[in-house]
Structure 1
Amino acid sequence: MTSRPDPVSKIVRQDEERTALVEFYAHEHDMIPPSPAVSEGSDSDVRIKDGYDSVDYLSFVLVGIAMLWPWNCFLSAAAYFQERFKSSEFLRENFQSCIMTTSTITATVAMIVLSYQQKHAKYTYRVWIALVMNIINFFILALTSIAGGSWAITPYFLYLLVSVFFSALATSLSQNGAFAIANLFAPIYTQGIMVGQAIAGVLPSIAQILSVVTVENTRRNAEDDGREASSTSSFVYFLTASGITAVSLLFFLKFYSKHRAVINLAGLVVGDGNEIQQPTRRHVALFVLFRKLHHLAFAVFYTFGVTMMFPVFASNIVSVNYAEGVSAPNSWLRPNVYIPFAFLIWNMGDLIGRVVCGYPQYVIQSPRALAVASLARTVFVPLFFLCNISGSGAVISSDGFYMFLQLWFGITNGYISSCGMMGAESFVEEDEKEAAGGFMGLALNLGLAAGSLCSFILVGIIQ
C-alpha cells in the first residue's frame, strides 16, 4: 500500500525548490526576482528595478511598436481604402469612422474584461498570442489587397471590419500583458513601450509613402493601371506590418527565455507544470482607482477623445497646392502621398511629446493641471476647419499652417497622455500599481471609443 505524501513536507519541498531557483537566477544574472513571499520594499525588489540591458530594452520597444503598428496601419492606408471604396459614397465617406469605432469599442470591451481578470492572468501568454494574431491577420490582409481586388465592395468592407476587430483584440492583449511584465523590471522598460508605441505611428506612415512612390513609379514606367499599382503598394505595406510583428515576437521570446525565472516566480505565468503555483493577486475595485485617479483618468480620456478627430481631418484635408488633372501626376502633394505625410507629421509630434516626458523636470505633476491642459486641446478642432477640407478651399491657404497644426496636435497628445499614464503610480498604494496601469489603459480606450463615435458627427459636418 502506497502512503500519501505529507502535505507539510510537500509545502516545504515547494519552498526549497523556489528558493533554489531564486538563488540560481541571482547567481547567473546578478538580479534576484521578487517572489510573493518577499516583503514590500525589500532589497530584492530594489535590485530587480535597477537592472538594465539594451537588448531587453529593445525587446520592449519592439513590443510597443507591434502594439500600435496595426492601428496606425489602418489609418495611414486611408488613401488606399478611399480608392477601394470610391464606387460607394457612403463607405468612402464613413469607412474611417467605422474602422475607428470597431477598433476602439473592441479594445474597450476587451480591456474591461481583462481588468476583471487580475488574479490568475497569464500575461506572457497574452503578449505572444497577440503578436501571432497580428502576424496572421496582416499577412491575410496583404494577400487580399492583391487577390481581393475583384471582391464586391460590401464583402470586402465586412472583411476589413473583421480584420480590424482581431487587430484591436490583439492590441488589448499585448498592452495588458506587456505593461504588467515591464513593471517587474526597471521603469526604463515601461518607457520603452511608450516610445515604441510612438514609433509605431511614424514608421507605418513612412512605409506607406515609400510603397506608394516606389510601386507607382514602377507601374507608371510599365504603363500599368493605377489601381493595380495601389493594390501592389498596399500589399507591400501590409506585408511589412506582418514582418515587423514577427521580429517583435522573436525578440520577446528571447527576452522571456532569458528572464523566465523572474516572470514565473512573480506569478505572471504558471511554471512548466511544476508544483510552484501561481499566487493570487488582490483585486482592486475600479471605483477605488477612480476615486484616486479621476483627474489623471479624465486627462487621458479627454485627450484621446479629442485626438480621434484627427484621422477624419487627416483623411479629408488635401494640399492647397495640388489640383487633380492640373498638377503633375507624380507630385508629392497628391492625396495618396499627402495624406500619409500628414499622419507622419502628427505621429512625429506624438513621439516628441512622449520623449519629452522622459525628463522629469518637464512633466506636469498636478493631476488637476493636466486635466485642464487636456481640455485646452479642444481649440485644435475649429482650427482644422480653416484648412482645405475635401478641396473646398482654405481660410488659411497654406500647407505649412496645416502641418504645423498636425505637429502640435501630436506633441500635445503624446505629452499629456504620457504624463497621465506615468503619474498614476504616484497616487496609489504599492499593491494597487498593477491594477492602476490597467485602469488608466481602460480610460485611454474609453477615450478612443468616445472619440470614434463622435467622429461620425464630424464626418456629417464636413460633408
Structure 2
Amino acid sequence: MGSVGAERFKELSPAGTPEGNVVMSFSFDSYQLEEDELQRGSQAKGVLTFMEPASEDPEPQDRYHGIYFAMLLAGVGFLLPYNSFITDVDYLHHKYPGTSIVFDMSLTYILVALVAVILNNALVELLSLHTRISVGYLFALGPLLFVSICDVWLELFSRRQAYAINLVAVGVVAFGCTVQQSSFYGYTGLLPKRYTQGVMTGESTAGVIISLSRIFTKLLLSDEKENTVIFFFISIGMELTCFILHLLVKRTRFVRYYTDGSRKGLPETRGAGDPGTGYRVHHDVTSEDVRFENRQRGQPRSPPEGGLCKGRTAVLAELCCLSLPDMLLYRYVVSRLIWAYMLSIAMTYFITLCLFPGLESEIHNCTLGEWLPILIMAIFNLSDFVGKILAALPYDWRGTHLLVYSCLRVVFIPLFIMCVYPNGQPTFGHPAWPCIFSLLMGITNGYFGSVPMILAAGKVSPEQRELAGNTMTVSYMTGLTLGSAVAYFAYSLTSTSHSTCFYTETS
C-alpha cells in the first residue's frame, strides 16, 4: 500500500474486502498510534482498535452531580450573552422603531459565529482547550459591560451610533461565545455522554433564565431604562459565575481523570536511532468503521511533548504536526462516521433560525401589545429546555432516522408565516396560535438539536471525540447561518405590520 519509509500521506485508494464492502485506505507515516504500546503482542491480526487506556487510579464518581451542574451552567454561559441582547425585544422596538434590529443582530451573530467555529476547528491542535474557553468568556463579558453601561445606562451615543455599536457588540459576543461553545463540546466529548446532554440543556436554560429575567424586571420596574440596565447587570453577574465555576471545575479530580486519560498512552519521545511506528487508516464505508493498522518504519518523528502540542489528547498532539492535507483528511475520516448526525443538527437549527428570534419578535397583538413577542420567546425557551431534558432519555437513534424527523420540522415555517400574513388579517390571528406553534417548535428543537450531538461522540473513538465535537459544531453553525439568511425573507412579510393592529374575529 505504499512505502513504509515515506514521510507523508501516501495513498487514498478504494479496495474490496472478502465481504464485498468498499474500503478506503488512508496511509499516515511517522506518527505513532497511542494504543500501540497497549496492543502490542495482542492477537488482533495487525488491526488495532481504540480502547480507553488503563489507569491505576479508580474511576472517580460525580456523587453529588456537581460536575453535571457545572456543565449545565457552562451551556448557560455561552448562550446567555446573545440571549440578553435579543430578549429585551420591547426595548429594541422602542429605541429602534421600524428597523430590522432583531434580524440584523441574529444574522450578525450567526455570520461571525460561523467564522469563529471554523477557526476554532482549524486551531484545535494549536491552542489548548481551556485557553480557548477562557478567552471566549472574556470576549463575551466585555461587550455586555460596555453596552449596558455606556449605551443603555449613560446613553453616550446617538441612535445611529448605538445601532452600529450594538451590532459590533453582538459580533464580538458571537466570536467569544462560539469559541466557548465549540470547545466545550470537544471538552464534554472527553467526559461521559451525559455531560454533553448537560451542556445542551444549559443552552436552553440560558433562554429560560433570560426570558424570566426580562419578564420580572419589566413587571417590577415601569421605567424602561432602569429595568433594562438591571436586566443586563443580572446577565453579567451570571456570566461571571459561569466563568469562575469553570476555572474551579477544570481542576477537579473527576475532570482531570478523563481529560488526562485521553492523553495517556502517548509514547515518550524516542531517540534518533529508535525505530518509530506509523499507522494506516482503513475506513470501511459500508460499516462506517475505522481501523488502524500498525507499521514499522526507520525514521521516527514523534509528536513533541511541549510547546503548542502540550495538553492535547494523543491523537490531537499527533495532528499538531501533520500537514494541512493530512489534517483535512483526518477530519474527513471523522466526518464519514457522523455525517447523518451532522446533517440532522444542521437541518434542525436551520428551520428554527428561519423563525426564531426574527419572525417571532414581529408577531403583534392589540390586546397584548409588546408582551406577545416576549411571551412567545419565553414559551420557546422553556419548551426547548424541556426538549433537551427529554434528550437524556436512553434511545439509540439511527442517524438517518434523526435526519428524516429533523426535516419534518419544516412544517413550522408555513404555520408561523400564516401568523403574520396577510398583513392586518393573518390566517392565524389569535395570539394562542403562535404560542402553540412556539411550544411545539421549542420541544422538537430541544430534542432533535441535542440527540445528534450526544450520539455523535459515541460513533468515534474516545481520542477522536474532541475533534468530532468541533466538527458537529461546524454543522450546527452552518444550519444557523443559512436559517438566519432565509429569515430576512420572512421579515419582508411583516414590513407593514408595525402600523397594523391585529384583531381576531369571534364567531
Shorter chain as normaliser: what TM range?
A: 0.7 to 0.9
What CA deviation, in whole Å up to 9, does each residue of 1:59-82 have, x standing for no partner? 111111011111222221222111
- Secondary structure of the corresponding residue to residue 137 of structure 2: helix
Residue type of the partner of 2:357? P
Query: For 1:363-402, what aligned pairs fall within 5 Å after superposition?
Result: 365-388=397-420, 392-402=424-434
Verify the 8 A CA contact 2:349 2:483 in the aligned structure 1: yes
CA shift at 1:150, angstroms?
5.7
Equivalents in 2 of 1:261, 1:37: separation in Å?
Answer: 22
CA shift at 1:206, angstroms?
0.8
- Work out the percentage of aligned pairs sharing the same amino acid: 20
Paired residue for 1:312?
A: 358
Equivalents in 2 of 1:45, 1:85: separation in Å?
Answer: 62
Matched, 1:198 2:204: yes
What CA deviation, in whole Å up to 9, does each residue of 1:156-189 have, x standing for no partner? 1111111101111111121133223323333332
Equivalents in 2 of 1:433, 1:272: separation in Å?
Answer: 22
Verify the 8 A CA contact 2:418 2:428 in the aligned structure 1: yes
Verify the 8 A CA contact 1:312 1:459 in the aligned structure 2: yes
Residue type of the partner of 1:193? V
Query: For 1:4-403, what aligned pairs fall within 5 Å after superposition?
Result: 40-44=51-55, 48=59, 51-86=62-97, 89=98, 92=99, 94-149=100-155, 151-216=157-222, 229-259=223-253, 261-262=256-257, 263=259, 280-282=317-319, 283=327, 285-308=330-353, 309-319=355-365, 322=367, 333-335=368-370, 337-361=371-395, 365-388=397-420, 392-403=424-435
- Alpha carbons of structure 1 residues 37 and 60: separation in structure 2 relative to 1, 3 Å: farther
- Alpha carbons of structure 1 residues 109 and 170: separation in structure 2 relative to 1, 3 Å: same
Deviating above 6 A after TM superposition, structure 1's stretches of 4 or more consecutive aligned residues are 34-39, 270-273
Verify the 8 A CA contact 2:421 2:493 in the aligned structure 1: no
CA shift at 1:272, angstroms?
11
Equivalents in 2 of 1:340, 1:303: separation in Å?
Answer: 23
- Alpha carbons of structure 1 residues 46 and 399: separation in structure 2 relative to 1, 3 Å: farther
Verify the 8 A CA contact 1:305 1:449 in the aligned structure 2: yes
Paired residue for 1:223?
A: none
CA shift at 1:294, angstroms?
2.3
**Normalising to structure 2: TM-score of the pair?**
0.72
Verify the 8 A CA contact 2:196 2:454 in the aligned structure 1: no
What CA deviation, in whole Å up to 9, does each residue of 1:64-112 have, x standing for no partner? 10111112222212221111112xx3xx2x2122111111111111111
Equivalents in 2 of 1:73, 1:45: separation in Å?
Answer: 46
- Alpha carbons of structure 1 residues 123 and 208: separation in structure 2 relative to 1, 3 Å: same
What CA deviation, in whole Å up to 9, does each residue of 1:211-261 have, x standing for no partner? 112111xxxxxxxxxxxx222211111111110011111211211233485
More helix by share: 1
Equivalents in 2 of 1:193, 1:214: separation in Å?
Answer: 31
- Secondary structure of the corresponding residue to residue 439 of structure 2: helix
Matched, 1:459 2:486: no
1:407 to 439, 457, 466: 439
Residue type of the partner of 1:420? P
- Alpha carbons of structure 1 residues 181 and 37: separation in structure 2 relative to 1, 3 Å: farther
Residue type of the partner of 2:205? I
More strand by share: 2
CA shift at 1:204, angstroms?
0.5
Residue type of the partner of 2:226? T
Equivalent residue pairs, number:
397
- Alpha carbons of structure 1 residues 37 and 178: separation in structure 2 relative to 1, 3 Å: farther
* Unmatched 5+ stretches in structure 2: 1-33, 40-50, 265-303, 320-326, 496-507
CA shift at 1:155, angstroms?
0.9
CA shift at 1:303, angstroms?
1.1
CA shift at 1:205, angstroms?
0.7
Verify the 8 A CA contact 2:105 2:170 in the aligned structure 1: yes
- Secondary structure of the corresponding residue to residue 311 of structure 1: coil
CA shift at 1:286, angstroms?
3.4
Verify the 8 A CA contact 1:62 1:196 in the aligned structure 2: yes
* Unmatched 5+ stretches in structure 1: 1-33, 217-228, 323-332
Paired residue for 1:4?
A: none
CA shift at 1:281, angstroms?
4.2
CA shift at 1:375, angstroms?
1.4
- Alpha carbons of structure 1 residues 150 and 51: separation in structure 2 relative to 1, 3 Å: closer
- Alpha carbons of structure 1 residues 296 and 156: separation in structure 2 relative to 1, 3 Å: same
CA shift at 1:316, angstroms?
0.8
CA shift at 1:291, angstroms?
2.7
CA shift at 1:56, angstroms?
1.9
Residue type of the partner of 1:356? L
Verify the 8 A CA contact 2:144 2:236 in the aligned structure 1: yes
